[in-house]
Chains A and B, each alone.
Chain A
C-alpha cells in the first residue's frame, strides 16, 4: 500500500425519507432538513441533507476497505457545499477514496475521500474528508 492508491468508489442515494430517518436516529431535528418552508424562509434553496448524514454515509467506503469500523480512529471533514434533496428524485453523491498518507511507525494510514454531487455540477460537498485507519498487525 502506498500514497495515491485507490480504495475504490461508491454511490449514495439520498431521498427525503433518508433525511427523516437520519433525523430520528441522530436526534438532529433541525427543520431545514425536513421542512421546505422553513428551509426557504432562511434563504436555503430547499430542504438540504444533514452534513452529518453525508459524512456518516461516505465513511462506509473506508469501513469496507479496512474490514472493521473499530479501526477508524479519526475522521474529519469540512462541509463546503449544501446537498439539496428535492422531494422528487432526491440526491445522488459520488464517493471515491485514496490513500493520502501511510505512517508505518504509528501503524496507520490516512484515507482521503472525495465526495461530489453530480446534481450540482459535480461540486465537492465535503473537503478535507480524511479518515485515519489503524492497520492490522502484520
Chain B
C-alpha cells in the first residue's frame, strides 16, 4: 500500500499545549550530547540574555514529531511507520525555545511525491506559543520505503 496522494495540502488540528520544562531541556541536551551550559545552567543562560534555559537547536523536533504523528496516524495516510526513513529536516527559529514556553504545533502536509516504489512526504510544523507568537518552523521529509 502506498502513501495516499490526497494527503497533500491537508492540515491537522494543533497539538495539545506543550510546557517546555527545564528538566526536559537538560534531558534532551544530554541525549544529543549538547554540552553548552546554556542548556543546563540557569545563570549561564541568563548571562547570554536568555530568560531561562535554552533548548538545543533541534529540540523543536519534539514538538514537530508530535504534530507529525497526526499525519502518520491518519487512518487515511497509508504510511507504514516501520518503513519510514527520515530524508531531510530543517529548523527555522524565529526565536530560541526556552524553558517556560507553552507551545503548540500545527502540521500541514506540503507535498506527497512518488519515487519508484517509494513515497516522499514533506510536512511543515508551525510552532507557536499558546498566545500565538511564532517560534519555529520545522520542515521534515519522510521517505516511506515500498515493499521489496
Contacts and interface: CB of A to CB of B under 8 A. Distances in A.
Contact of B32 (A56, A67, A77): A56
Contact of A69 (B27, B31, B61, B96): B96
A78 B90 CA distance: 9
Nearest to A76: B90
A79 B140 CA distance: 11
Interface in B20-63: 24, 27-28, 30-36, 38-39, 48-50, 54-58, 61-62
A76 B91 contact: yes
A129 B98 CA distance: 24
Contact of A52 (B58, B84, B93): B58
Given A69-B56, A77-B89, A78-B87, A57 B81 contact: no
Interface of B: 24, 27-28, 30-36, 38-39, 48-50, 54-58, 61-62, 65-66, 81-93, 96, 139, 145, 148
A59 B87 contact: no
Contacts of B96: 69-70
Instruction: Sort chain A's interface into a size bin.
Output: 35 or more
Tell me if B's interface is mostly helix, strand, loop or mixed: mixed
A25 B31 contact: yes
Contacts of A51: 85-86, 89
Contacts of B66: 27
Interface of A: 12, 18, 21-22, 24-28, 30-32, 38, 41-43, 50-53, 55-57, 59-60, 62-64, 67-70, 72-79, 82, 131
Nearest to A63: B36
A63 B34 contact: yes
Contacts of B33: 12, 18, 57, 60
Contacts of A55: 58, 89
Question: Most chain-B CB neighbours within 10 Å: which of A22, A38, A70?
Answer: A70
Question: Most chain-A CB neighbours within 10 Å: which of B49, B50, B84, B91?
Answer: B91
Question: Most chain-A CB neighbours within 10 Å: which of B35, B36, B66, B83?
Answer: B36
Contacts of B49: 70
A52 B92 contact: no
Question: Most chain-A CB neighbours within 10 Å: which of B49, B57, B145?
Answer: B57
